[in-house]
């Protein structure tokens, strides 16, 4: 019952904050909810113990009682990724397959090391000494873009379909590489022996990511065939729910990537059902159901992120290091995007404006905070969690609210036509 009470409280708060945002702030729903939660958290941290001690105590106990890492990575993320995957057109993804794969694999590794080296050499100037291996841990958890935050922000940005597919595809698929890199580096940090051979890392990635994708396609194919035989909206909703909830349990037992399983299953089912002429009422209910699930869980997730401020001690002491981290992460994002686009095979689809949008649209979110909170308690875990929170809040609020202004669809089309028509690309 404790979990029920906690979730009930979060739903009530999310609905109140969503209403206040709609009436007064007029921000995108999820960002508005998070902003209000942060403002409430700051007020409670500064004055809560003297002005509203019971409210402060209740909220602090509520956040302490919930394992954010388990709730997000083990439950919410599966629903959100399936909902994201089910709305992506596989043909659009095929057209952007190469950049999506490069950014979600090599891009994560490049960013991890750039962030690691940058933080290692710059943090001492602001009075913090973080061992290089923990700088790499931070680099690994902050490098992947958050699919939930990215998909939420893209709805407001009105970018071109090709650019939307690049950004969304990268964020949906980079979890496999990110988890492998983070797991290996964290094990090194806590003193465990890890085989760093290319063969071992490759097998780990193949098992984690490849196994997740294969399981997702298998689940998607089987359940799509079942839905074809029974064209009923209630059964269709139940079947898709069973894919998400049952699929995660299977992935967990097999020790493969649950997030990638959900992405693959969502992609397969969403595109299979486009070809299968489902009753309009069934399709309408199914689409609206998953849109509603997506919106509700997004609201709760961004509320979570806002209230996580209550769990960080002395955040003000890490504001300057957090600012350093923001600059380093943006620089690393630029290098991890700009570098691969210099390859001849990718030049024709990446104009300067496209690169700018990809860099600024690389939103970090709850996944980074969840990974930071999964680090075993040590003298460095609080530092990493605090600077991660600074980067995530900046990323969602500043980058999320300005990406629509940065994205200029007409300029992107003009520049990409110029790049495609250049002599070196014609050759």
DSSP string covering 311-355: GSTTGGGGHHHHHHHHHHHHHHHHHHHHTGGGSHHHHTT--HHHH
Mean pLDDT of the chain: 87
Helical (H) or strand (E) element with 94: helix 90-95
What band does 203 get if pLDDT is binned at 50, 70 and 90?
confident
What digits encode the pLDDT tens for the residues 15-43? Answer: 999 999 999 999 989 999 999 999 999 99
Q: What is the pLDDT of residue 348?
A: 65
Q: Is the pLDDT of residue 416 over 80?
A: no
What band does 319 get if pLDDT is binned at 50, 70 and 90?
very high
Average pLDDT over residues 111-118: 96
Q: What is the pLDDT of residue 347?
A: 66
Q: Please identify which residue in the block is written with the tokens 């659009």.
A: 92
What band does 1 get if pLDDT is binned at 50, 70 and 90?
low
Burial level of 406, CB count in 10 A (0-12/13-18/19+)?
Answer: middle
What band does 281 get if pLDDT is binned at 50, 70 and 90?
confident
Calculate the alpha carbon distances from 6 to 39, 78, 407 in Å. Answer: 21, 20, 39
Q: Is the pLDDT of residue 112 over 70?
A: yes
Give the integer Cα–Cα distance in Å for 404 and 392: 18
What digits encode the pLDDT tens for the residues 129-184? Answer: 999 999 999 999 999 998 878 877 776 666 777 788 888 888 888 877 787 789 88
Q: What percent of the chain has pLDDT over 90?
A: 44
SS3 content of the chain, % helix, strand, coil (to 5): 85, 0, 15
Burial level of 250, CB count in 10 A (0-12/13-18/19+)?
Answer: middle
Q: What is the pLDDT of residue 34?
A: 95
Give the integer Cα–Cα distance in Å for 246 and 219: 10
Q: What is the pLDDT of residue 115?
A: 97
Q: What is the CATH number of domain 5-421?
A: 1.20.1530.20
Q: What is the pLDDT of residue 168?
A: 87
Give the integer Cα–Cα distance in Å for 154 and 151: 5
Q: What is the pLDDT of residue 322?
A: 96
Q: What is the pLDDT of residue 422?
A: 60
Give the pair of three-digit tokens for residue 241: 């729910």
- Higher confidence at residue 54 or residue 115? 115
Calculate the alpha carbon distances from 176 to 108, 140, 229, 302 in Å. Answer: 10, 12, 33, 23
Average the pLDDT over each of 52-56, 106-110, 276-280 and give the range with the smallest value.
276-280
Q: Is the pLDDT of residue 53 over 80?
A: yes
What digits encode the pLDDT tens for the residues 77-99? Answer: 899 999 988 888 888 888 888 89
What band does 4 get if pLDDT is binned at 50, 70 and 90?
confident
Among 32-46, 75-89, 207-221, 320-334, which range has the highest average pLDDT? Answer: 320-334
Beta-carbon count within 10 A of 419 CB: 17
Give the integer Cα–Cα distance in Å for 373 and 304: 13
Q: Is the pLDDT of residue 420 over 60?
A: no
What band does 311 get if pLDDT is binned at 50, 70 and 90?
confident
**CB neighbour list of residue 12: distance below 8 Å, 6 or more residues apart:** none
Q: Is the pLDDT of residue 11 over 60?
A: yes
Average pLDDT over residues 191-199: 73
Q: How far is CA 44 from the centre of its chain?
A: 28
H-assigned helices in 190-279: 198-205, 211-229, 233-254, 258-275
What band does 58 get if pLDDT is binned at 50, 70 and 90?
confident
Average pLDDT over residues 214-220: 95
Q: Please enumerate, as own/partner, the contacts of 91-94 that have beta carbons within 8 Å and a separation of 24 or more.
A: 92/161, 92/162, 92/165, 93/165, 93/169, 93/267
């Amino acid at each position: 019952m404790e979990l029920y009470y906690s979730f009930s409280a979060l739903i009530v708060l999310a609905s109140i904050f969503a209403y206040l945002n709609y009436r007064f702030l007029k921000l995108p729903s999820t960002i508005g909810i998070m902003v209000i939660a942060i403002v409430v958290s700051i007020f409670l941290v500064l004055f809560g113990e003297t002005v509203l001690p019971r409210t402060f105590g209740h909220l602090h106990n509520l956040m302490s009682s919930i394992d954010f890492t388990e709730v997000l990575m083990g439950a919410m993320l599966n629903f959100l990724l399936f909902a994201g995957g089910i709305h992506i057109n596989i043909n659009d993804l095929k057209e952007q397959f190469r950049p999506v794969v490069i950014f979600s694999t090599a891009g994560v590794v490049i960013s991890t090391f750039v962030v690691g080296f940058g933080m290692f050499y710059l943090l001492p100037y602001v009075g913090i000494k973080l061992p290089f291996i923990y700088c790499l841990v931070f680099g690994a958890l902050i490098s992947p873009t958050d699919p939930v935050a990215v998909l939420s922000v893209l709805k407001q940005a009105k970018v071109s379909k090709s650019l939307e597919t690049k950004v969304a595809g990268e964020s949906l698929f980079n979890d496999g590489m990110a988890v492998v890199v983070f797991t290996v580096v964290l094990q090194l940090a806590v003193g465990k022996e890890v085989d760093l051979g290319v063969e071992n890392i490759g097998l780990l990635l193949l098992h984690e990511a490849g196994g997740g994708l294969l399981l997702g396609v298998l689940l998607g194919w089987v359940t799509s065939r079942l839905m074809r035989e029974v064209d009923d909206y209630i059964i269709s909703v139940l079947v898709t729910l069973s894919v998400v909830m049952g699929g995660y349990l299977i992935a967990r037992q097999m020790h493969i990537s649950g997030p990638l399983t959900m992405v693959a299953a969502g992609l397969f089912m969403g595109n299979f059902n486009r070809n299968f002429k489902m009753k309009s009422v069934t399709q309408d209910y199914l689409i609206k159901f998953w849109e509603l699930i997506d919106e509700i869980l997004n609201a709760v997730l961004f509320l979570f992120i806002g209230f996580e401020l209550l769990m960080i001690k002395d955040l003000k002491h890490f504001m300057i290091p957090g600012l350093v981290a923001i600059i380093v992460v943006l620089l690393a994002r630029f290098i991890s995007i700009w570098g691969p686009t210099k390859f001849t095979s990718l030049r024709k689809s990446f104009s300067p404006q496209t690169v700018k949008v990809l860099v600024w649209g690389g939103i970090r979110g709850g996944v980074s905070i969840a990974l930071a909170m999964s680090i075993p308690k040590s003298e460095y875990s609080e530092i990493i969690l605090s600077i991660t929170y600074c980067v995530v809040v900046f990323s969602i609020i500043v980058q999320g609210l300005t990406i629509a202004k940065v994205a200029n669809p007409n300029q992107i089309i003009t520049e990409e036509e110029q790049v495609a028509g250049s002599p070196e690309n014609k050759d």
